[in-house]
Chains A and B, each alone.
Chain A
Amino acid sequence: MNLEAFNLDPQTLLAIAGMALVTYATRLGGWFAIRRMVLTGRTRAALDAVPGAVLAAVITPAVLTTGPAETIAAAITVVAALKLPQLVAVALGVASVVALRAILY
């Protein structure tokens, strides 16, 4: 490592500050909007569904639209997670995707 490792470019700093600011704003926004509300009925049900829905959406490209190896490995991971500790299920999922890619592609 040399001294250049510690360079800070002003425009880079501006970009980092902008990214950091809007990112923190997204983290605070939902909490700030909801925190003083007591939710009931369908609004409550909608928010209750958010954790599963967002997680499912995040992994959809990797699990559903990449290829058969990833989709099968995802199914193996889910079945494993029903019976086994999380770390074991994750390891099985990763191992099966490596194996399936070698076989299928």
Chain B
Amino acid sequence: MRPDDMSSDRFTEARASAVAVLPAMIAVIPFSLLLGALAAQKGITPLEMMLMSATVFAGSAQFVAVDIWREPAPWLLLTVTALLINMRHLLMGASLASKIGHFGTGTSLLALFTMVDETWALAEQRAARARLTPTYVLTMGGILWINWVGWTGLGAALGSLMGDPAVYGADFAFPAIFLTLLVGLWQGPRTGIAIAASAVVAAIVHLTVDGPWFIAAGGIAGALAGALSAPSGDEAAETGIGE
């Protein structure tokens, strides 16, 4: 154990993490049930659903997969599609790397396995204020993982008893959560420039190109805008090899 990770601190970290992840945990339930129900209609069994949720653990990729699913499963198409939808993880992992640099390799591998949009955004928000601890990252990751596996499995078992979550506005819960996290990430005008560049490019790509390309396009546009709007004097942008 790390000396700065004593048990009382760990409890405080775990509790803070659980409180932070609660809105996302609740918001994901109707979608988990819906995903399971849709999967059941495509012939996916509850056990297969839970296995997919436990190992893939990626909401948008699983929704698209179930959408294009047929029997027998077109495994190559499903694999390539999951790769495309999850490309954004490359940017997210790269951004998180320096913030979990003090984690051990095993802990990092586990933390990254549980990295989804919500836990990543919460970790970034936390890292802007405090040093990230393994307890903080793994608590919320574990909570969302159990939540996701359990509710998608239940959805598949219950079949199509669920209605459409959009009726309760539940489809807007995730955009709303991400908006509040964006507010938390705000660090001045340069944050605004990056967000605006990303949103404009993502909107154009979303309207003109099929598929999930708008996320990567917006993310890269925002990163470029962030680089270009950096104060001059940092012109000699060097990447050195550390350690």
- Nearest Cβ on chain A to B207's Cβ, whole angstroms: 6
Interface residues of A in 31-59 (CB under 8 A from B): 31-59
Q: In the complex, what distance in Å separates the CA atom of A52 from the CA atom of B202?
A: 13
Q: Mark B78-115, 1 if CB is under 8 A from A, else 0.
A: 11101100111111111111101100000011001101
Total interface residues in chain A, CB < 8 Å: 79
Determine whether the beta carbon of A42 is less than 8 Å from that of B237: yes
With an 8 A cutoff between CB atoms, is B162 at the interface?
no
Partner of A87, one of B22, B58, B223: B22
| Given A19-B65, A57-B222, A94-B97 contact (CB < 8 Å) | no
With an 8 A cutoff between CB atoms, is B198 at the interface?
yes
Q: Mark A48-75, 1 if CB is under 8 A from B, else 0.
A: 1111111111111111110000100110
- Give the number of residue pairs across the A-B interface with Cβ within 8 Å: 341
With an 8 A cutoff between CB atoms, is A28 at the interface?
yes
Interface hub of A24, A57, A63 (most chain B Cβ within 10 A): A57
Q: What A residues does B240 contact at CB under 8 A?
A: 37-38, 40
With an 8 A cutoff between CB atoms, is B172 at the interface?
yes
Determine whether the beta carbon of B237 is less than 8 Å from that of A41: yes
Binds A, one of B1-9, B129-137, B178-186: B178-186
Please name the residue on chain B nearest to A11 by beta carbon.
B72
Determine whether the beta carbon of B73 is less than 8 Å from that of A15: yes
Q: What A residues does B229 contact at CB under 8 A?
A: 45
The secondary-structure label for the interface of chain B is helix
| Given A19-B78, A41-B234, A53-B218 contact (CB < 8 Å) | yes
Determine whether the beta carbon of A50 is less than 8 Å from that of B219: yes
Q: What B residues does A29 contact at CB under 8 A?
A: 89-90, 93
- Nearest Cβ on chain A to B167's Cβ, whole angstroms: 9
Partner of A90, one of B58, B95, B176, B197: B176
Known: A9-B45, A15-B79, A30-B95. 15 other contacts (CB 8 A): A5-B45, A18-B78, A19-B52, A26-B86, A26-B90, A33-B94, A35-B97, A35-B101, A43-B237, A53-B91, A53-B195, A57-B218, A59-B175, A74-B175, A82-B183
* 29 A-B pairs (CB sep. < 8 Å): A9-B45, A15-B75, A19-B82, A22-B79, A22-B83, A23-B82, A27-B112, A29-B90, A31-B96, A31-B100, A42-B227, A42-B237, A45-B226, A46-B224, A47-B94, A47-B226, A48-B226, A49-B222, A50-B92, A57-B218, A58-B178, A61-B206, A86-B177, A87-B22, A89-B179, A94-B168, A94-B173, A97-B169, A98-B169
- B contact residues vs A (CB 8 Å cutoff): 22-23, 27, 44-48, 51-52, 55-58, 61-62, 65, 71-76, 78-80, 82-83, 86-98, 100-101, 108-109, 112-113, 115, 117, 120-121, 124, 157, 168-186, 190-191, 194-195, 197-199, 201-203, 206-207, 214-230, 234-243
- A contact residues vs B (CB 8 Å cutoff): 1, 4-9, 11-65, 70, 73-74, 77-78, 81-82, 86-87, 89-90, 93-95, 97-98, 101
